[in-house]
Amino acid sequence: MDQEDTIIAPATPIGQSGIGIVRMSGRRSFSIAKKIFRSSNGSRVNWSSTFRTHHGWIVDPENKETVDEVLLTIMHSPKTYTREDIVEINCHGGSIPLRKTLELGLKLGARLAKPGEFTRRAFLNGRIDLAQAESVLDVVQAKTDKGLMIAVNGLKGKFSQKIYSLKEEMVDLVSCLEAEIEFPDEEIDSPSRTAKKKQLKRILTKLDSLIEMGETARIYREGLKAVIIGRPNVGKSSLLNALLDRERAIVSCIPGTTRDTIEESINMKGFPLCIIDTAGLGKAKNVVDQEGIKRAHSSMDQADIIFLMVDGSLPLTEEDELLFQKTRGKNRLILVNKIDLSQRIDRQKMKTLMPQDVIIEISATRGTNLEKLKEVTSELILKEIVLSPSSPLLINVRQKNVLEQAKKSLLRALEASREGIPEEMLVLDLKEGLNSLGEITGETTGEDILDRIFSNFCIGK
């Protein structure tokens, strides 16, 4: 990926919209734009003036054909998204004007940007660090208001600051130790062994709290999963539709209506909850049923919470009881559905079989007790996750793994300091830890990892 190239890409989705933006970054952005842009009032454009927007036309320099009416913005390096010269062209939002403008740029020497290449340049040119670059994706993909708020914290560099301050403390410790190793006979004003151990422990505690934060972050980033299971026809799809407030899944009085799993997301108290409707669990009549049941089971294994549904208007069956057994010990909520009909289910037996469980009576079609269901769900799911009221940070899996690695190195260092092992070893462990932390902010991140991170972005970001 050559940084010398001038890159171009659509920055808005291809389709019909108010405007569609093509953006170009790199040394040749202005010279390419000059060849295809005609200012509307015939006056000459002042290309040396930054953050200026001009009204005019994109014209094919070869056949003089006008492609679109546009607004063109000139942005001079280094105060731009990539720190390079940038031209942004606001076309009318249709796929053809956007594509034709893009093609003209390509013909004149720009290269189509790879996914995330604009942000990668912002990182490589030092405008943002890697953790901030990853936050850009979190902002784009935020599913709730709260998720957005904490993604923006990352973008502002709040997570990076924590890493830098941890690194600073570690560097201090390393320089102290190195001075002692190099000048063993000199009187160096350095902290005692106990003080160093204390310092190490302090750093470890901070690292631990960051790792913990990663778990909280997971629910804001990826959301949590709830799976609805139960016998055929108990009303699972009706509940999915009621929670979504739209007719997403087919509902019918014929048992076995849902064959495949259906996943949809709702906003549950600020975090995204993915609800999975599944095929009814019972005797499979054919291979399709079998596959549906297999999928329902695998969804159940991945779920953070199980909604186990029974039909209140019918007596309990063996299949219901089998499901009570299968889900024992899992994070589950028992739902008795169809309470608007006359009731035949044996509630006493359910209580005896599941004395510890919360049982909620609902009517999916009438919407009865759905608010209560949401409240209990969020309590159940969030009970082990302490939501920090101040500014929590999003920490992704990659970053969490790196933090774990750094923790291992620091634990080794602590061990070394305890057993009176030569201080050189301690320094090695600390340096390894520093190296790991550098992978979060990007100082020590390999090309392959960068490729993987930025390939998740869209083209034009």
Q: Does 337 bind Mg ion (CB under 5 A)?
A: no
Which 61-80 positions form the footprint of ligand GTP (CB under 6 A)?
none
Q: 449 to each of 110, 219, 222, how far by Cα in Å? A: 26, 24, 21
Span interacting with ligand GTP, options 190-198, 363-371, 414-422, 426-434, rule CB under 6 A: 363-371
Q: Does 253 bind ligand GTP (CB under 6 A)?
A: yes
Q: CB of 155: closest distance to ligand GTP in angstroms?
A: 41
237 is in an annotated binding site: yes
Which partner from the list Mg ion, ligand GTP, none does 50 bind, CB cut-off 5 to 8 Å by kind?
Answer: none
Q: Does 237 bind ligand GTP (CB under 6 A)?
A: yes
- Give backbone dihedrals phi and psi of 435, rounded to 5 degrees, phi first: -60, -45
* Tokens, residue 234: 């108990």
Q: Does 235 bind ligand GTP (CB under 6 A)?
A: yes
Q: CB of 280: closest distance to ligand GTP in angstroms?
A: 3
Residue 25 and residue 117: Cα distance in Å, rounded?
A: 10
- Give backbone dihedrals phi and psi of 235, rounded to 5 degrees, phi first: 115, 25
Which partner from the list Mg ion, ligand GTP, none does 337 bind, CB cut-off 5 to 8 Å by kind?
Answer: ligand GTP
For ligand GTP (CB under 6 A), the number of binding residues is 24
Q: Which of 33, 32, 72, 36 is nearest to 54 (CA)?
A: 72
DSSP characters over 286-309? SHHHHHHHHHHHHHHHH-SEEEEE
Nearer to ligand GTP, 216 or 241 (CB): 241
235 is in an annotated binding site: yes
282 is in an annotated binding site: no
For Mg ion (CB under 5 A), the number of binding residues is 4
- Contacts (Cβ under 8 Å, ≥6 apart) of 125: 78, 82, 83, 84
Nearer to ligand GTP, 272 or 282 (CB): 282
Q: What is the dihedral of CA 308, 311, 315, 320, to 10 degrees?
A: -20
3-state secondary structure 110-160: CEECCCCHHHHHHHHCCCCCHHHHHHHHHHHHCCCHHHHHHHHHHHCCHHH
Q: Do you find a cis peptide bond into 78, omega within 30 degrees of 0? A: yes
Nearer to ligand GTP, 319 or 321 (CB): 319
Burial class (CB in 10 A: 0-12, 13-18, 19+), 286: exposed
Residue nearest to ligand GTP (CB): 280
Chain position carrying tokens 């790792």 = 211
234 is in an annotated binding site: yes
Which 38-57 positions form the footprint of ligand GTP (CB under 6 A)?
none
Interhelix angle 397-418/193-221, rounded to 10 degrees, is: 160
- Give backbone dihedrals phi and psi of 309, rounded to 5 degrees, phi first: -105, 135
Q: Does 251 bind ligand GTP (CB under 6 A)?
A: yes
Q: CB of 304: closest distance to ligand GTP in angstroms?
A: 21
127 is in an annotated binding site: yes
Nearer to Mg ion, 259 or 374 (CB): 259
In the shown chain, the binding pattern of residues 229 to 268 toward Mg ion, with x for contact by CB under 5 A and - for none, equals -------xx-------------------xx----------
Cβ-contact 394, 151 below 8 angstroms:
yes
Which partner from the list Mg ion, ligand GTP, none does 80 bind, CB cut-off 5 to 8 Å by kind?
Answer: none
* Tokens, residue 345: 């289910």
Which partner from the list Mg ion, ligand GTP, none does 82 bind, CB cut-off 5 to 8 Å by kind?
Answer: none
Which partner from the list Mg ion, ligand GTP, none does 435 bind, CB cut-off 5 to 8 Å by kind?
Answer: none
Which partner from the list ligand GTP, Mg ion, none does 340 bind, CB cut-off 5 to 8 Å by kind?
Answer: ligand GTP
Which 272-331 positions form the footprint of ligand GTP (CB under 6 A)?
279-280
201 is in an annotated binding site: no
Going along 185-255, which residue ranges are E strands?
A: 224-230
Q: Binding site membership for K(+): which residues?
A: 233, 252, 254, 257
Report the interface residues with Mg ion, using CB under 5 A. Answer: 236-237, 257-258
Report the interface residues with ligand GTP, using CB under 6 A. Answer: 230, 232-238, 251-253, 255-258, 279-280, 337-338, 340-341, 363-365
